[in-house]
Amino acid sequence: MDHADKKDHAAAVKHYDRAIKKDARNAQAHHERGMSLLELGKNEEAVASFTRALKIDSKFPGSRSWRANTLMELERFSEAAKDRLLYLEHNPDGPHEGMGVAPTDWYDCAEASISE
């Protein structure tokens, strides 16, 4: 993570790969790898990393929303809409209990659905 903090995302990906090789069930390593891949413009690979993180932990913080955002950029609207809707279903109170879901979250979900 130090490499990512220093904006050396190529080195960060290499270190995340090593961490994943040691523990393939490390959802955080997959998620962080996806974030660094995004910074490198490798969106398809980032989606794959977020997907792996979600297979390990279906509610891993941030992975579903980042995957949805990336899918939107890749114009894979149907998949993005499904991710957004699933996120909203799993988090009916929003990311912070009692705060509610932001209208922008519903807008993003609707936008992805309409774009399809």
Query: What tens-digit pLDDT sequence spans the chain (116 residues)?
Result: 555 556 668 889 999 999 999 999 999 999 999 999 999 999 999 999 999 999 999 989 899 999 999 999 999 999 999 998 888 887 776 665 655 556 666 566 666 666 65
pTM recorded for the entire structure: 0.81
Sorted by where each begins, the domain ranges of the chain are 2-115
Which pLDDT belongs to residue 91? 73
Given a contact cutoff of 8 angstroms between Cβ atoms, the answer to whether 83 and 67 are in contact is yes
Residue 105: CB atoms within 10 A of its CB come to 17
**In the structure encoding, which two tokens stand for residue 88, read together?**
């909203």
Angle subtended by helix axes 103-115 and 63-73, to nearest 10: 40
- On whether the 2-115 domain is CATH 1.10.357.10, my answer is no
Which pLDDT belongs to residue 107? 62
Which pLDDT belongs to residue 51? 98
Q: CA 4 to CA 1: how far, in whole Å?
A: 5
Which pLDDT belongs to residue 10? 87
Opening angle at CA 23, ends 67 and 72, nearest 5: 5
| Phi and psi, residue 101, nearest 5° | -85, 135
Q: Could you report how far apart the first and last alpha carbons of the chain are, in Å?
A: 36
Which pLDDT belongs to residue 9? 83
